[in-house]
Structure formats: C-alpha cells, structure tokens
C-alpha cells in the first residue's frame, strides 16, 4: 500500500499519517497522560517542517483546539499549497470549557472564521466535531446540509463528521465524504463503521490511534502494534496522530511505513 493515497472519493490525495494539532493550541481539559507545554513558534515551525520533510501533507485542527487554527495560519503562510487542512465545526472551547453549537448559522460563521484564521480561501476538509449525540446532530440539526452548501459554494472541498458512536458513524458514512472515528488497540467498538466506509468508499481518518498516549503496555512496541492494527483495515486512509515531540513524529512515520509494507 502506498504512503500517498486517495481520501475516499474526495479527489484529495493524503499521506497515510496526518499531524494532529491540539497540543499546538490548547493545554487545558485534555485527557493526555502527562502535562505538557505548548510549543513556541520556533519549535512549532520546526515540527511542521519536519512533518513536511517526512512526507506528511495532512494536518488536523479545530476551533476547539485553542489558538491552533490561528497559529497554523501564520506558521503555514507561504506553504499553503504543501498541505491539506482538516478543520471542524460545532465545538467551541472558551474559558476552559467546551460548548456546542451545530446550527446551520453557526456552521457558516465558524467556517468563515476558520478561513480567516487559517489565512486561506478554501479548507480541504471540514468535519462536524460531535458532542456525542451523533444521530441527533445528523438527523435534526442541519449541520451536514450547511456543510454541503459551503462545499457547493467552493469554500470547502470535502465534508464529514468526527463521530463518537457506531450508529452515528454509520449514518455519517451514508451522507458524508469523510468520517473520522476512534480505532485503536484499546477501542475497537467502531469497527462496523470502518467496514461500512470500506463498502461505500467513504474517506476514513482515524483519531486517537495511540489511545491519546495511553499506550497498551502488553505490546513490546505499542506504536508499531497500533499502526499494524489500523492499517490492516482496508478502509483506513490516514491515522491522525497528535504529537509535539520530534522523535515521536519520526517514530510514527517509520511505524506507519512499516505497517504499509
């Protein structure tokens, strides 16, 4: 399997590993095993340059990741063409707490704000940042329809949903270009969603592939075991792994390349 691959039927060609950027913008109310310091501009720029040199072209951010979008807008200035950017709508993180708004009006405002923050005129992928009630969001709130409209207007290239339930993942797969879901050594409940995405040819981005850093201790090399697991499934287009540690970034790329054979 090749490192660069199509994201479902979106027409986007992504690297098998994407860089998650929560830790570039937010250090509060997270479930990582240890505390950390948000990297300064110099370290963040070096991390992005390292990612690009290692062949990564996919970067994942969100309005709920503190100032991650604004920082990326500045840090990626002049190299926008080298990257495919995935951002989200629906979750806001303010004064240390999340609040959610999935209304079509907020969705439009949020995408326009992300365009400004990222300093771009089109966002490659926008996902609904689910609060957990996936099915209600999909069936009752009109968020996906608002994203489809923004896609028709040319402001986003592909849309989808980062889901938290099997039912939500299955419903999203039927309606979206891309589904982002959790799949790792500790959590495989969402396997039916992966199977459905493979059947439908829907793009799949995996989150929490390293269980947010709570690595399974029973494996001699848990990073390799994680990548072997997720890339054994034919639906997996990319693993989005969050890291601010250069050695981890290097190790993750090597592990994905080995998993791909």
Ligand X SMILES: NC(=O)c1ccc[n+]([C@@H]2O[C@H](COP(=O)([O-])OP(=O)(O)OC[C@H]3O[C@@H](n4cnc5c(N)ncnc54)[C@H](OP(=O)(O)O)[C@@H]3O)[C@@H](O)[C@H]2O)c1
Among 158, 243, 256, 259, binds ligand X (CB under 6 A): 243
Compute the C-alpha angle 113/118/119, nearest 5°.
Answer: 95
Closer by beta carbon to ligand X, 113 or else 153: 113
Going 32 to 34 to 38 to 44, the CA torsion angle's sign is negative
**Min separation Cβ 182 and ligand X, Å:** 8
Min dist. Cβ of residue 251 to ligand X (A): 4
Task: Out of 47, 57, 252, 253, name the contact with ligand X by CB under 6 A.
Answer: 252
Tokens of 141: 């709130």
Q: How many residues bind ligand X (CB under 6 A)?
A: 26
Q: Residue 156, CB half-sphere, CA atoms under 13 Å: how many?
A: 30
* Least gap, CB of 153 to ligand X (angstroms): 23
Query: Which of these segments, 71-79, 112-120, 168-176, 211-219, binds ligand X (CB under 6 A)?
Result: 211-219
255 in Cβ contact with 223 (< 8 Å)? yes
Dihedral of CA atoms 239, 118, 76, 93 in degrees, nearest 10, equals -60
Cβ proximity to ligand X, 120 vs 243, nearer residue: 243
- Out of 180, 181, 194, 259, point to the residue binding ligand X (CB under 6 A): 180
DSSP state of 233: S
32 binds ligand X (CB under 6 A): yes
Contact set for ligand X, span 107-136 (CB under 6 A): 129
Q: Where are the beta strands (DSSP E) in the chain?
A: 4-6, 13-15, 17-20, 58-60, 84-89, 91-94, 97-100, 123-129, 156-162, 178-182, 203-207, 238-242
Residue linked to tokens 């998993």: 259
Under the binding rule (CB under 6 A), the answer on residue 242 touching ligand X is: yes
What are the structure tokens assigned to 235, written together? 């639906």
Q: CB under 6 A: which stretch of 96-104, 142-150, 189-197, 240-248 binds ligand X?
A: 240-248
The correct pick among 8, 44, 60, 89 for binding ligand X (CB under 6 A) is: 60
Q: Which residue among 55, 104, 119, 213 contacts ligand X (CB under 6 A)?
A: 213
| Per-residue buried b or exposed e for 21-44, using 16+ beta carbons within 10 Å of the residue's own CB | bbbbbbeeeeeeeeeeebbeeeeb
Residue nearest to ligand X (CB): 20
Q: How far is Cα 221 from Cα 206, in angstroms, rounded to an integer?
A: 20
Pick the binder of ligand X from 122, 131, 198, 251 (CB under 6 A).
251
Least distance (Å) from ligand X to the CB of residue 234? 21
Q: How far is the CB of 129 from ligand X (least distance, A)?
A: 5
When the beta carbons of 10 and 61 are compared against ligand X, the nearer one is: 61
In the complex, the residues that contact ligand X under the rule CB under 6 A are: 20-23, 32, 60, 129, 162, 180, 207-213, 223, 240-245, 248, 251-252
């Amino acid at each position: 399997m090749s490192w660069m691959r199509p994201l479902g039927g979106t027409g986007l060609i992504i690297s098998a590993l994407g860089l998650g950027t929560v830790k570039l913008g937010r250090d509060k109310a997270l479930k990582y095993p240890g505390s950390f310091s948000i990297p300064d501009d110099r370290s963040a720029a070096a991390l992005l340059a390292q990612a690009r040199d290692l062949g990564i072209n996919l970067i994942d951010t969100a309005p709920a990741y503190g100032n991650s979008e604004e920082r990326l807008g500045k840090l990626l200035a002049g190299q926008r063409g080298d990257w495919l950017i995935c951002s989200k709508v629906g979750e806001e993180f303010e004064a240390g707490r999340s609040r959610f708004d999935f209304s079509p009006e907020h969705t439009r405002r949020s995408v326009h704000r992300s365009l400004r923050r990222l300093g771009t005129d089109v966002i490659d992928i926008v996902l609904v940042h689910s609060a957990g009630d996936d099915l209600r969001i999909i069936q009752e709130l009109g968020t996906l329809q608002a994203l489809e409209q923004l896609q028709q207007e040319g402001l986003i290239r592909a849309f989808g949903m980062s889901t938290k339930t099997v039912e939500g993942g299955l419903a999203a797969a039927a309606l979206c270009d891309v589904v982002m879901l959790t799949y790792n050594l500790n959590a495989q409940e969402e396997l039916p969603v992966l199977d459905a995405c493979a059947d439908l040819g829907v793009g799949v981005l995996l989150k929490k592939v390293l269980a947010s850093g709570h690595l399974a201790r029973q494996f001699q090399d848990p990073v390799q075991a994680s990548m072997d697991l997720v890339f054994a499934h034919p639906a997996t287009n990319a693993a989005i792994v969050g890291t601010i540690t250069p050695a981890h970034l290097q190790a993750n790329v090597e592990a994905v390349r080995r998993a791909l054979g």
